[in-house]
Amino acid sequence: MQEPSRRSSIFPFKGIIGFMKGTPNVTYTPTELTTIMQGLKIALQHNPTPIEIASDSSEVINMLQNGHLTYCPSISECRS
């Protein structure tokens, strides 16, 4: 099996990046999507491939895979 191609970087990063953020009492789904989006932005700064997203929300995972009209802008940003 071939290894996936990796983007070059001046400062290559090899390892695991974790991201966690506390939030006040708000609606869970938009908060989860925002946190995933922020985590992806941090991960992309370090050029890792592949990126793995872990979430305990099956609703958010389903929306990321299949889309959702209400959260379409946030989902599109996560996918891009």
pLDDT per residue over 22-75, tens digit each? 666 667 788 888 888 888 788 778 776 777 777 888 888 888 777 776 766 666
Long-range contacts of 56-59 (CB under 8 A, 24+ apart): 57/28, 57/29, 57/32, 59/29
- The residue among 15 and 54 whose pLDDT is bigger is 54
The reported pLDDT for the residue numbered 30 is 80
Examine the pLDDT at 8 and tell me if it is beyond 50.
Answer: no
At 74, phi and psi to the nearest 5?
A: -65, -40
The reported pLDDT for the residue numbered 9 is 40
CA atoms within 13 A on the CB side of 48: 16
Per-residue confidence band for 4, with pLDDT thresholds at 50, 70 and 90: very low
